Amino acid sequence: MRVGRRGILPGIDSSNARPTRSAAGVLLAAALGLSLVVAACGATAGSGRAASTQPASATTQVPAVARPAFTQPSQPISVALGSSFELVLPADPRGGISWQAVAPPNPGVLLSIGSTFRPLPPTTTTSSTTTVPPPPTTAAPTTTTTISRLATTTTLAPPTTPAPTTTTTFPPGATANQVLIYGARGPGTCTITLRYASPKPGAPVLDTVVFTVTVFDPATTTAPPPSTTTTG
């Protein structure tokens, strides 16, 4: 039996008591450090996997709204309630000349949404041209010989006149297509009167067109026959 610093400890040398506790502390600290390293590695790997599974951000482009487009004022327009449509007319925004409403349409039937410009198609002509046909062409005389001792008959073929070719486009000097957008607010019929001029006060009016628009309710009215439309 030996006597330690804090009392009598059987079988233990007081000179070896402190080194035993120090070794245990070192082992405990080493184990704790190893567990922290393993936990840190696991967190790093987990964050890497989470980052790799998230999709890359992308910009969503909203597709353009497909609207019926009308280009001929002489054609009546029929649209359903709640829909929108376009009036497409050549204009000259470079020269400061565009189509403007002479007066707002009936607000109970139509709503003016806005106006924009689009490039002209490559095949668009920008002048009003009427081709005058050439003079009537008279075919060569056809001689019919009657087997008779009395007479010989000569018959002239009737003249042929080709149909005139007329190409009507307006206005001259157009550099773009102007697109005027309207919305159908209520059933009814109204007109849209547009003038082609500079927006400056007192500018001369170069042209005027009138579109007739009918708005019908598809829930209560049978749709009228479709009018001629073109894609603007």
pTM for this entry: 0.52
Helix count and strand count (H, E) for the chain = 1, 14
User: Domain with 206 in it: what CATH number?
Assistant: 2.60.40.2020
75 and 33: one domain?
Answer: no
**Within a domain: residue 136?**
no
Which of 96, 90, 232, 102 has its CA nearest to residue 171? 90
The DSSP 8-state label assigned to residue 190 in this structure reads: E
Q: Which two structure tokens, joined as six digits, stand for 2?
A: 């030996």
In terms of residue numbers, what domain contains 35? Answer: 2-45
> For residue 81, which phi and psi values (nearest 5 degrees)?
-60, 135
What is the C-alpha to C-alpha distance for residues 215 and 183, in angstroms, rounded to an integer?
10
Domains of the chain: total: 2
181 and 94, same structural domain? yes
Q: Which residues of the chain have pLDDT under 70?
A: 1-64, 123-170, 222-232
Residue 130 CB neighbour total at 10 angstroms: 9
Same domain as 178, residue 116: yes
| Predicted local distance difference test score (pLDDT) of residue 115 | 96
pLDDT tens string 88-146: 999 999 999 999 999 999 999 999 999 999 999 886 554 444 455 556 655 555 555 54
Residue 223 lies inside a defined structural domain of this protein: yes
